[in-house]
Amino acid sequence: MPLLTRLSEGRTSSRFAVVRRAFLWVSLGLSVIVLVGIAMQLYLIAAWLFGAGNGALDAHEAVGGIVVHPAEVLIFLATLAAWWQNWRAVGWSFALALLGTIQVIAVGDVSNPTDGWWHGLHGGLVLFVVALAFFIARREASALGLQRA
């Protein structure tokens, strides 16, 4: 193999490693944002339930719609770039985006509840969303070498 070909392949693989690392950082950061956002949402919905008023419910919806759900979808896209051809890793991130989307669909109308069993999935799925976001954050931290031995 000619020297020039070997050098260009080396540069390509090192560029790929740098790009992959950047997307791992993006995915890790977004996973942390999802976890912190969900903690904020839990506080806000509890405040609303205990009489803090509609401002708490509005804030809960805003954090979910503006921060948490978009971050779940962006994690999937970042994972697609960082873990290309590792379909298991991509699948876990897709599952997070899918569960987050189902959770959004299951919200319903608080002022006019029609099917509490279906709408209950909105709160019930949060446990799985948190578990997946935590799993993805640990996976990315491990891939970046941030885990302690």
Q: Read off the pLDDT of residues 104-116 as tens digits, 9 standing for 90 and up.
A: 999 877 777 678 8
Beta strands in the chain (DSSP E): none
Q: What are the backbone dihedrals phi and psi of residue 106, each rounded to the nearest 5 degrees, phi first?
A: -75, -5
- Supply the pLDDT for residue 11: 58
For residues 110 and 64, give the distance between their C-alpha atoms in angstroms, rounded to a whole number.
Answer: 15
- Supply the pLDDT for residue 22: 97
Q: What are the backbone dihedrals phi and psi of residue 35, each rounded to the nearest 5 degrees, phi first?
A: -65, -45
Under a CB-based contact definition with an 8 Å cutoff, are residues 107 and 122 in contact? yes
Under a CB-based contact definition with an 8 Å cutoff, are residues 124 and 29 in contact? no
- Supply the pLDDT for residue 98: 98
| Percent of the chain topping pLDDT 90 | 77
What does pLDDT average to over the chain? 90
Q: How confident is the model at residue 54 (pLDDT cuts 50, 70, 90)?
A: very high
**HSE (side-chain half, CA atoms, 13 Å) at 65:** 8
DSSP class of residue 111 equals T
Q: Is 3 a residue whose pLDDT tops 50?
A: no
CA triplet 29, 31, 35: central angle to 5 degrees?
115
- Supply the pLDDT for residue 1: 47
pTM for this structure? Answer: 0.88
pLDDT tens, position by position, 76-114: 999 999 999 999 999 999 999 999 999 999 987 777 767
Q: Average pLDDT in the 27-47 region?
A: 98
Amino acid at 61: E
